[in-house]
Structure 1
Amino acid sequence: MALSALYRRFTQVKGIDRFRPRRALFAGLTRGGRAPDLSGSNFSMNHRWMIVAAILLTALLVQIPVVLNADLGCLLTEGEKVLDGGKLGVDVFEVNPPLSVYLYMPALMFARATGLAPEIVVIILVMIEIVGALVVIDRAGVAAGLEAGERNLATCLLAFLFAILSSAVFGQREHIAVIALTPFVAITAIRWRGLGPGPVAVVAGLGAGLAMSLKPHLALVAGVPIILAALRQRSLRALFTAEACAAAAVVIGYGAVLVLAFPDYLFTYAPMVAATYVPLRMNLGDLLYFPAIVIFASIAILRLVAPQHFKLDGDATPWLAAAVGGAASFVLQGKGWTYTAFALCMFAVAAPLLHVRTRTLRLPVMIGGLAAIVFIGFCLSVPVRHFPPLEERIEALVKNPRLLTITDHVALGHPLVRQINGTWAGNSCVQMLAAGAMMIQKNAQLSQGERAKLDGIIDFERRQLLADLRSGRPDVILVDTYMLSSVPFDWLAWANSDPELKLELSHYREVEDVGRVRIFVDQKAISER
């Protein structure tokens, strides 16, 4: 759901959570200050990791029934097709770069070896990643000479933000990427204070490189803080630290892999994505106000809870800069989807909480700050069903069906196909390129050559749908009646405009119409019931 819609819908909702840091969090001390003890003089490293374990266990219990969302379901299904021998850009088509699919390969392979559900394995692996990121940040703090209290508080807070604040974003690419990127931001904050993070900085750089390879827009999250550091030092040395060089090496290496291993995707499919999917954007005004509100709230809370850090060269600056980079990433992507705002929300919440003081903290300030944080978490957590429940209806028609959809919205078929224990009959999850091409043709003044190029992309989508019908032989086809969830559109007429597709679809009969979805079943499957 677009965050603009979320904001309008839930502006009146208020919530209060309880979180009571004692004095200062990671990067929250003035130079030479003493870090607090998290829960008294007897607090130890073991207690800290017990708190982390409790947070992760809570997240596990929450995520098991909800983690399988549309995007994750689609990528897992595409990954299974690749494991079965398909090649991205030739046999399997995904609008995101290949790493988006291969990111989940370890989970799929482990699931096949153990019999566990892939989505459960995803949760477990993400939690391992969280622990790894926390360990890297802690080791950097040790090398920098930060005291145990500061490191304890940082570990517990970041564990909470990684595992709980992420909520409905948990396990998605953006979530995994932000976890991998956070040690880089933390090390930038350490260097900002004139301290050294030690050799573990290279590991943080590798994580940042992975994050930027997954979502190139996240380069803004890593880049804004180190650019500010370079300006502050009046030197380019901040741009060539060990972690920055390691991140650059990963990104360059990934680019080389794309050229060598995925030329079909890079030179054939990716240009079509760039021409039709990338230009689909919300209005700039609708995109701007959510990040503006979040950044303003972050700065206001920081100003109230830690005024000594509210200045350009304060210790909070790298974290705020990362939040600004997250805001820029959100606007640049232009879709307004919840998960694209996770980097913005994560660092905007972290910046004030990592510097909060409770000795002089007034109750109204605490309540207002916590309400703002809860609201941000609420925006990240609200599930939205774009389609009516279809599981029982389809299972009543055909058990364990081969399923296909004709739509531009991934949530029509995913994770539905996994929930009904069906088989995905297609080699792509949506006809997104066709939708983008038709919207551009409708809304833009185009030359004859540009229009012909878009017509070619639309024809490409029809050819892929025809191939899926012939090779996949779906039992059930779900046909959408909207384009981009906002414009009424007859996807069946779009498909039937091709004579070969019309012939294949003539073997199917419409059996039900549920909201915006038309359900078609293979007549042979009906006769065998």
Structure 2
Amino acid sequence: MIVAAMLLTAGLVQIPVVLNPDLGWLLTVDEKILDGQKLGINLFESNPPLSVYMYMPAVVFSRLSGIAPQFIVIAMVMVEIAGALLIIDRAAASARLEAGERGISAWLFAFLLAVLPGAVFGQREHIAVIALTPFVFITALRWRGLSLGPAAILAGVGAGLAMGIKPFFALVVGLPVILRVVRQRSLRPLFTSEACIAAAIVVGYGALVVVLFPAYVSTYAPMVAEAYLPIRKDLISLVPLPIVVIAASVAFLRFSAPSDFKMSGNSLPWLAASVGGAASFIIQGKAWPYTALALCVFAIAAPSLHLRTRPLRTPTLIGGLAAALLIGLYLSSPAPRFPPLQGRVQALADQPRLLTITDHIGLGHPLVRQIHGTWVGSSCAQLLGAGAILRQQSAQPNPAEQAKLDGIIDFERRHLLADIRTGRPNVILVDTYLLSSFPFDWLAWANSDPELKAELSRYREVEDVGRVRIFVDQSG
């Protein structure tokens, strides 16, 4: 009943807030795929294809039922959380854990997977962390030398899918397993049923991507590696969060664990998973809160699973709750926002055909869904172009690198030109910042191409709102 109440409450809270820029864009991509467009040919997304197709069931069911797809996403995520909790409980039952420990595990992970994510709910990282959690739980049980049932197979499936969503999660999966290898001085932990299944799914998924999405592998993915992945914060701004979160986890372990607690004890797999999440956060380098979800979830789990073994003093309990609250607030901290545009755009055109010239996904999404418009772009934003421009401005690329960056910028301009010609947007929103950090004239960037300039000459500026310039098609 407690778990059900947590899930129900979290689901109701998410109804008005679940639609964020990333989810809005991916739902739009799936709708365009159902309408006949091809990922990697007509549509471009920087993340691997599974990040797109994982939301396809919600779009299909939405078309069948008439329910908005973002609400179906909430239901799908709740089902996934319930499935993860069931796998965890079945593994605990097979390991013959006592009822108290099983109860704390169920309550804890219901909170960590449904309530703690807040504004991260339903994003790729959230879905991946849900899928990863049973694998880490089973690895922690194996660390204790406990026997497991068939739940390990399902845990392996979840871990494999999570790594397909984002390859960085291999660090979360791998570090606890490597610890077992070191501890046992044997390679046998690499060949458990869950590890083998996870590896098989990753290999199979990679083969499917190569076969089904050759354009993504040969053309788009190299541009992502060249222009998008290098966009990152300085290391000095990335490291403090993992240090603080993991240090707090270890400190609370000292207070919540038994008096004979040792750092080599049963919490080490959870700490290793948290360190893997920290490494993923740092390697991605974007410092976006949702990329720290794995770090935070497993860092909280490590000490919390010891709550039944030792009574906590009131100051320690208050400190732990405060730390969890701060982490929750951090995960839900708002990204840089654009000024309110919904009313202004709707006043210019009813159900407009919308396009943006920007590197920020949040300018057009989820705005286009909120105004019941049509997105005519082939990508969410000119993000690769922004990365190439930033690299040109901040470094001195050699001739070969310069040629690649020029090619990426030309790629963005060619597709922007095609979007305007074929989509005929009647409203175009133009940003005036590069990566939300530097003033940048995106209109001048587009007009530097003669063909684009000719197409954009049909549009007149009607208003500028903060950092956004609004253009409408004066011929229509």
Range into which the TM-score falls when normalised by the shorter chain = over 0.9
Please state if 1:56 is matched with 2:7.
yes
8 Å contact kept, 1:495–1:502: yes
Paired position in structure 2 for 1:27: none
Paired position in structure 2 for 1:268: 219
8 Å contact kept, 2:336–2:436: no
Paired position in structure 2 for 1:43: none
**1:237-276 maps to which residues of 2 (within 5 A)?**
237-276=188-227
> Aligned letter for 1:59?
A
- What is the deviation of 1:156? 1.4
Paired position in structure 1 for 2:111: 160
Residue number among 306, 317, 329 corresponding to 1:355 in the alignment: 306
Please state if 1:123 is matched with 2:74.
yes
8 Å contact kept, 1:122–1:171: yes
Where structure 1 has 5 or more consecutive residues not aligned to the other structure, the ranges are 1-49
- What is the deviation of 1:196? 1.4
Paired position in structure 1 for 2:345: 394
8 Å contact kept, 2:257–2:310: no
8 Å contact kept, 1:73–1:415: yes
Q: Counterpart of 2:37 in 1: which secondary structure?
A: coil
**1:286-325 maps to which residues of 2 (within 5 A)?**
286-308=237-259, 310-325=261-276
Q: Counterpart of 1:524 in 2: which secondary structure?
A: coil
Paired position in structure 2 for 1:281: 232
Paired position in structure 1 for 2:455: 504
The 2-side partners of 1:311 and 1:505 are apart by 66
8 Å contact kept, 2:461–2:470: yes
CA offset digits 1:171-221 (Å, max 9, x no partner):
000000000010000000110110012122011000000000101101111
The 2-side partners of 1:288 and 1:336 are apart by 10
The 2-side partners of 1:410 and 1:113 are apart by 28
Paired position in structure 2 for 1:7: none
Cα gap change, 1:308 to 1:204, in 2 (>3 Å): farther
Paired position in structure 2 for 1:368: 319
- What is the deviation of 1:73? 0.6
Paired position in structure 2 for 1:454: 405
The 2-side partners of 1:84 and 1:387 are apart by 30
Paired position in structure 2 for 1:151: 102
- What is the deviation of 1:385? 4.5
8 Å contact kept, 1:174–1:340: yes
Identity across matched positions, percent: 67
8 Å contact kept, 1:311–1:317: no
- What is the deviation of 1:360? 3.4
> Aligned letter for 2:391?
I
The 1-side partners of 2:281 and 2:201 are apart by 23
Cα gap change, 1:60 to 1:179, in 2 (>3 Å): same
Paired position in structure 2 for 1:99: 50
Structure 1, 164-173 or 232-241: larger mean CA deviation:
232-241
Paired position in structure 2 for 1:236: 187
CA offset digits 1:305-354 (Å, max 9, x no partner):
11547423211111111111100110011100111000001111111111
> Aligned letter for 2:123?
Q
Paired position in structure 2 for 1:469: 420
Query: How many equivalent residue pairs?
Result: 476
Paired position in structure 1 for 2:172: 221
8 Å contact kept, 2:353–2:376: yes
The 1-side partners of 2:199 and 2:123 are apart by 23
8 Å contact kept, 1:308–1:314: no
Residue number among 68, 73, 90 corresponding to 2:41 in the alignment: 90
The 2-side partners of 1:300 and 1:150 are apart by 21
Cα gap change, 1:414 to 1:57, in 2 (>3 Å): same
> Aligned letter for 1:76?
L
The 2-side partners of 1:398 and 1:344 are apart by 44
Paired position in structure 2 for 1:70: 21
8 Å contact kept, 1:302–1:356: no
Paired position in structure 1 for 2:85: 134
Please state if 1:184 is matched with 2:135.
yes
Please state if 1:425 is matched with 2:376.
yes
The 2-side partners of 1:311 and 1:523 are apart by 72
The 2-side partners of 1:309 and 1:226 are apart by 24
The 2-side partners of 1:61 and 1:360 are apart by 33
The 2-side partners of 1:347 and 1:397 are apart by 48
Higher relative contact order (CA 8 A, sep 6+): 1
> Aligned letter for 1:410?
I
CA offset digits 1:250-274 (Å, max 9, x no partner):
0000000011100001011110111
The 1-side partners of 2:25 and 2:112 are apart by 26
8 Å contact kept, 2:101–2:308: no
For the aligned residues, what is the CA RMSD?
1.1
> Aligned letter for 2:252?
I
Paired position in structure 2 for 1:17: none
**Normalised TM-score (structure 2):** 0.98
> Aligned letter for 1:137?
I
Q: Counterpart of 1:336 in 2: which secondary structure?
A: coil
Residue number among 381, 385, 409 corresponding to 1:434 in the alignment: 385
Paired position in structure 2 for 1:326: 277
Q: Counterpart of 1:462 in 2: which secondary structure?
A: helix
Q: Counterpart of 2:74 in 1: which secondary structure?
A: helix
8 Å contact kept, 2:21–2:361: yes
Paired position in structure 1 for 2:358: 407
CA offset digits 1:487-513 (Å, max 9, x no partner):
100000000000110011011110000
The 2-side partners of 1:80 and 1:359 are apart by 52
Q: Counterpart of 2:276 in 1: which secondary structure?
A: helix
